[in-house]
Amino acid sequence: MQTPGIILTAVLLFCFFGLMVAVGLFCRKHATDVNSFVLGGRSVGPWLTAFAFGTSYFSAVIFVGYAGQFGWNFGLASTWIGLGNAFIGSLLAWVLLGRRTRLMTQHIGSKTMPDFFSKRFDSEKLKIAASFIVFVFLIPYTASLYNGLSSLFNIAFSVPYWVCIIAMAILTGVYVIFGGYMATAVNDFIQGIIMLGGIIAVIAAVLLSNGGLNEAIRQLSQIESTYPDTVGTQGAFTSFFGAQPLYLLFVILLTSLGTWGLPQMVGKFYSIKNEDAIRKGTIISTVFAIIVAGGCYFIGGFGRLYTDKLVGDGDPSAFKNFDSIIPTMLSTLPDIIIAIVIILVLAASMSTLSSLVLTSASTLTLDVIVPRLKPAKDEQKRSLLILRVFIVFFIVVSAAIAIIKDSFPGFTFIAQMMGVSWGALAGAFLAPFLYGLYSKKTTTVAVASSFVFGVAIEIIQLILMISGTKPNGFIGFVFTNSLYSGVFAMVGGLIIVPIVSMFTHRQSEEKVDSIFSCYDKKVVVSATDALSGGEDAE
């Protein structure tokens, strides 16, 4: 990168960081009590909520890691992952979970997912168990957000990886600690705009550098497949479902359906303002996902056009350094595009990081620490102080893990732990949360069974990865990698919960009816929202 490009990037970074901190300071007035700090007072509008959902969903892990890896594996068919994220992970999540989550969590007074399980199923033990799962698996997932920063920053600056991590951690911590959820939501909106503009600019630049869309596709179609079933054939990386359709399906399911069970994702529905905000937010979130996720994976699909720069004279089938694909593609582009992408990746990482640390800290504080303290004169002030302390704690720990992972490659456990985190969280929580919103018959034991099953599947996956053991048969298929086992954990939970509920003790009918009564309240709407019947309609 030339000197003018370095100066431009530095100026953009300075403006970006300054804006993020300014928003945090401005939003202090919206973080005066626990409810406003954690949920924004349950009055956040559609644009802020939709962008908060989208930016929490799509981090630098997707842009640098997943887009490079799955684009290399599937070619242009990797775009299906982005579309799955948009229509299953965003649209269906809003339609099926949005309204019901907002109504029930307010009705029972729940601020976190573990607290929801406690109050919905009348079990303090479920809250403790869920809090423990969040604590154990969300930290390594948080640490993974820093992946890819080093390779991108090295294009513009000769800055050590640990400096990038610390800078990002400190700046994220400042605005979250001062402004809470509202500062996070406003910054997510700003960061989302940057992500949208950045993705569109990158798509245009990459295609133009390869002679346009048609020429880029033509070049990609002539690359021979390196996979067993299609080895030596051309066109596999431009085919409709790619060279590995089954593997593609599992990636789509894990990265799309998994969001339904992640506490930092469904938590966005707790704070949304009203019905109109939900309708608008559904559309905004879906469009955002189509552009950002679809664009990321679409660009990743052209990764093999850069094979000579990635593997030289080596064997493409042996290539494993997937995090280098997107940075290599970008290194060939104009300085202005590289500067935009660096801001894009920072925005994506910081938005997701802020959401994760706020979720982790609020869960540990409100569900574990505060209930075990003696009553205080100013309960709100003490709770806010503890919340802020744990935000610092989670940011420091996640940053330390990321630095250790990079500095000591021998700590393979950390990388493997990151890989199973998403599957463990989604596998444990998806089914209980979904059924908890819809079914009066779901039992406490069934919820606990899903917790155990989801976590156990991923622990087994972790052990097999560490030991290098590769089972045969169906078990071997399930534990092919953390993507496969994560999908089985989620689908297994959806089957286990209703079956176990049939044979275990249910809550009292009166208690459950009281919880579900929030769905039966009558509200008055205008004729534009609902048609009337009878004589009035004639």
List, in order, residues 6 or more apart from 500 with CB less than 8 Å away.
443, 445, 446, 449
SS (H, E, C) 454-518: HHHHHHHHHHHHHHCCCCCHHHHHHCCCHHHHHHHHHHHHHHHHHHHHHCCCCCCHHHHHHHHHH
Least confident of 31-35, 310-314, 411-415: 411-415
Domain hosting residue 238, numbered range:
3-139+168-391
pLDDT category of residue 299 using cuts at 50, 70 and 90 = very high
Examine residue 145 and state whether it is found in any structural domain, yes or no: no
Examine residue 111 and state whether it is found in any structural domain, yes or no: yes
What pLDDT shows up at residue 500? Answer: 96
d(CA 430, CA 98): 14
Least confident of 103-112, 150-159, 256-265, 369-378: 150-159
Same domain for 418 and 383: no
d(CA 277, CA 294): 24
Mean pLDDT of 429-451: 96
- Range ranked top by mean pLDDT from 39-43, 154-158, 420-424, 500-504: 500-504
What pLDDT shows up at residue 410? Answer: 63
Same domain for 209 and 129: yes
Structure token pair of residue 194: 């940057």
What pLDDT shows up at residue 313? Answer: 59
pLDDT category of residue 312 using cuts at 50, 70 and 90 = low
What pLDDT shows up at residue 459? Answer: 93
Same domain for 359 and 226: yes
Same domain for 240 and 351: yes
Examine residue 532 and state whether it is found in any structural domain, yes or no: no
DSSP of 226-239, one letter per residue? -SGGGTT-BSGGGS
Same domain for 420 and 346: no
Please determine, for residue 497, whether its predicted confidence score (pLDDT) is greater than 90: yes
Please determine, for residue 199, whether its predicted confidence score (pLDDT) is greater than 70: yes
Is the separation of the CB atoms in 101 and 328 below 8 Å? no
Examine residue 157 and state whether it is found in any structural domain, yes or no: no
d(CA 538, CA 533): 8
Same domain for 249 and 279: yes
Same domain for 334 and 199: yes
Q: Is the entire prediction scored with pTM above 0.85? A: yes
Mean pLDDT of 142-156: 70
What pLDDT shows up at residue 128? Answer: 93
Same domain for 100 and 175: yes
Same domain for 473 and 357: no
Which has the higher per-residue pLDDT, 535 or 412? Answer: 412
Examine residue 161 and state whether it is found in any structural domain, yes or no: no
Same domain for 373 and 416: no
pLDDT category of residue 1 using cuts at 50, 70 and 90 = low
Average pLDDT, the chain: 85
Question: How many angstroms separate the Cα of 377 from the Cα of each of 380, 382, 383, 418, 438?
Answer: 9, 9, 11, 41, 39
Which has the higher per-residue pLDDT, 445 or 466? Answer: 445
pLDDT category of residue 538 using cuts at 50, 70 and 90 = very low
Question: How many angstroms separate the Cα of 385 from the Cα of each of 215, 349, 359, 370, 486?
Answer: 58, 25, 16, 11, 36
Report the SS3 class of residue 345: helix
Residue 203 is part of a domain; what is its CATH number?
1.20.1730.10
Please determine, for residue 351, whether its predicted confidence score (pLDDT) is greater than 50: yes
Please determine, for residue 537, whether its predicted confidence score (pLDDT) is greater than 60: no
Beta-bridge mates of residue 270: none
Same domain for 504 and 369: no
Which has the higher per-residue pLDDT, 526 or 309? Answer: 309
Structure token pair of residue 423: 């599957």
Same domain for 202 and 320: yes
Examine residue 533 and state whether it is found in any structural domain, yes or no: no
Structure token pair of residue 25: 């300071």
pLDDT category of residue 126 using cuts at 50, 70 and 90 = very high
Nearest 5°: phi and psi at 476? -65, -35
Q: Helix H segments across 210-368?
A: 213-221, 245-257, 263-270, 275-300, 307-311, 325-331, 335-364
Please determine, for residue 31, whether its predicted confidence score (pLDDT) is greater than 80: no
Condensed to tens digits (0 to 9), the pLDDT of residues 384-398 reads 899 999 999 999 988
Please determine, for residue 380, whether its predicted confidence score (pLDDT) is greater than 90: no
Report the candidate in 417, 413, 436 with the shortest Cα–Cα distance to residue 425. Answer: 417
Examine residue 430 and state whether it is found in any structural domain, yes or no: yes
pLDDT category of residue 526 using cuts at 50, 70 and 90 = low
Could you give the number of structural domains in the chain? 2
Examine residue 152 and state whether it is found in any structural domain, yes or no: no
